[in-house]
Amino acid sequence: MDKYLTVAVTVSLVVFALITQVNCSSSRMRKVTKAQILGFDWENCGQSDDPAVLKSLSLSPDPINIPGDLTASASGSTSVELESPLAVSLTVKKEVAGFWVKVPCVEDFGSCNYKDICDILSQLIPPGQDCPEPLHTYGLPCHCPFKAGSYSLPQSDFSLPRVDLPYWLTNGKYQVQGVLGGGGKELACLKVELAIQSD
């Protein structure tokens, strides 16, 4: 599954998408016929003066079925222009026997650092190509730079396809923290908690 894209919402949707993206070798992947994401919750975890803030994020239904339909809405703002390079640092933890264990970075999955999300966006959607729906309809950008301002994604429907998941990313509870940085400064921080159940 490709990464979901948007501006101040970028951190939250990138975190969600990096969990389910497909870019690993088949030897590390497990075909999943059906999976569910339960108890999705989020919070801003940055400093009070972080320029980019997620103000709202709503995903339904609960549980989210994969494959299946997802309804999402979000809003956020940034007080500064977000321009390349925009680094994203993910910390993924899985609950094991009552303890939170950090998941290492394996083939771009897990607790990984991504040097420039702008490059990733350009690979997914070549410059000059229209942004995918519903971003195009609502005038939301999907390429860097992102101008300072407020952004809003009204309630929109997405179709989630069947995915391959890493062998370690199956059943369990997870915490994912994503930090967006640029120019040597933290720009935003988002923490997500969820549970995954798959067959």
The answer to whether position 4 is within a domain reads: no
| Cα gap 77→119, rounded to integer Å | 22
The answer to whether position 155 is within a domain reads: yes
The answer to whether position 3 is within a domain reads: no
CA distances from 68 to 59, 63, 159 (A): 13, 10, 6
The answer to whether position 66 is within a domain reads: yes
Q: How confident is the prediction along the chain (199 residues), in pLDDT tens digits per residue?
A: 333 333 333 333 433 443 333 333 344 555 556 788 889 999 999 888 999 999 999 999 989 888 889 899 999 999 999 999 999 999 999 999 999 999 998 877 789 999 999 998 898 888 888 888 888 888 888 889 999 999 999 999 988 887 776 666 678 899 999 999 998 899 999 999 999 887 7
**The model scores a pTM over 0.75:** yes
| Cα gap 195→199, rounded to integer Å | 14
The answer to whether position 186 is within a domain reads: yes
Q: Are 193 and 173 in contact (CB under 8 A)?
A: yes
The answer to whether position 148 is within a domain reads: yes
The answer to whether position 5 is within a domain reads: no
Please give the tally of structural domains in the chain.
Answer: 1
The answer to whether position 2 is within a domain reads: no
Q: 61-87 as b/e, with b when 16 or more CB fall inside 10 Å?
A: eebbebebebebebbbbbeeebeeebb
Q: Supply the CATH number for residue 149's domain.
A: 2.70.220.10
Q: Beta 185-198 vs 113-114: how paired, if at all?
A: unpaired
Q: Please report the pLDDT score of residue 14 as a whole number.
A: 39
Residue 106 structural domain:
10-198
